[in-house]
């Protein structure tokens, strides 16, 4: 179990002045103390290498609209120049979690939009162009809902690489086969499926 995937809550015991052991009320641990985000540049580069065709245009913050360049600083996008160059806002908080989800949910929808029969309009302009490996993996999910575990496992592995446990991989496959997604059309299910991998702590947080 690694610290980025799970938050450990400890129970503290204090000794009373009279010599008797008395438990102190358990206080929840702030999840943001578990780990930092890998940062905008690391995730952006990771997605580019794993999914995008070489030399294609892609900037993750463009999914945030006209103010994306400024908003992306909330998720640890490097800012400044020379000695002032700094990566900030890497510790999870209510705002940067939301910004990550906004960007990655739109990227997930754009993956689903590459399916031949999809009616989804690409959010990225120009539309993303997948590399040969990603095109095969993403394309295999376009057969939704008739997917086998190999296709689902390949999708998980493409996102995660070595980062996540086998139990997390099995949970992702079970999620895909669950009633919550199986009752949806491909255009509604596949963005949620891809997002389930992209926002997993093993992908977003430092290991």
Question: Could you say which DSSP state residue 40 is in?
Answer: H
Alpha helices in the chain (DSSP H): 40-51, 68-71, 94-113, 132-140, 149-160, 166-177, 179-182, 186-198, 201-204
Summarize the confidence of residues 69-89 as an average pLDDT: 63
Q: What confidence score (pLDDT) does residue 68 get?
A: 79
Q: What confidence score (pLDDT) does residue 181 get?
A: 95
Summarize the confidence of residues 147-174 as an average pLDDT: 93
* pLDDT tens track for 109-150: 999 999 999 999 999 989 999 999 999 999 999 999 999 999
Please tell me whether residue 51 adopts helix, strand or coil conformation: helix
- So where are the chain's domains? 13-204
Most confident of 73-77, 82-86, 126-130: 126-130
The token duo for 193 is: 């499926």
Radius of gyration of the chain (CA): 20
Q: d(Cα 126, Cα 109) in Å, to the nearest integer? A: 14
Q: Which residue's entry shows tokens 């999620």?
A: 175
Q: d(Cα 184, Cα 186) in Å, to the nearest integer? A: 7
- Dihedral in degrees, nearest 10, Cα atoms 164, 190, 125, 66: -70
| Cβ proximity of 149 and 143 under 8 Å | no
Q: What confidence score (pLDDT) does residue 103 get?
A: 93
* pLDDT tens track for 11-38: 232 323 434 444 444 444 444 455 888 8
């Amino acid at each position: 179990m690694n610290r980025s995937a799970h938050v450990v809550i400890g129970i503290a015991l204090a000794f009373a002045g009279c010599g008797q052991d008395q438990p102190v009320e358990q206080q929840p641990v702030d999840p943001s103390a578990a780990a930092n985000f890998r940062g905008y540049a690391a995730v952006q580069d990771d997605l580019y290498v794993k999914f995008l065709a070489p030399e294609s245009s892609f900037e993750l913050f463009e999914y945030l609209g006209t103010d994306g360049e400024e908003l992306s600083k909330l998720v640890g996008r490097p800012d400044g120049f020379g000695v002032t160059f700094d990566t900030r806002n890497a510790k999870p908080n209510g705002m940067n979690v939301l910004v990550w989800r906004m960007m990655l949910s739109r990227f997930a929808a754009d993956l689903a939009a590459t399916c031949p029969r999809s009616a989804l309009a690409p959010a990225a302009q120009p539309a993303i162009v997948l590399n040969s490996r990603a095109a095969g993996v993403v394309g295999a999910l376009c057969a939704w809902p008739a997917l086998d575990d190999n296709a689902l496992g390949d999708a998980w592995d493409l996102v995660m690489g070595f980062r996540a446990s086998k139990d997390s991989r099995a949970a992702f496959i079970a999620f895909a086969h669950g009633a919550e997604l199986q009752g949806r059309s491909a255009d509604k299910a596949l963005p949620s499926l891809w997002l389930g991998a992209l926002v997993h702590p093993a992908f977003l947080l430092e290991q």
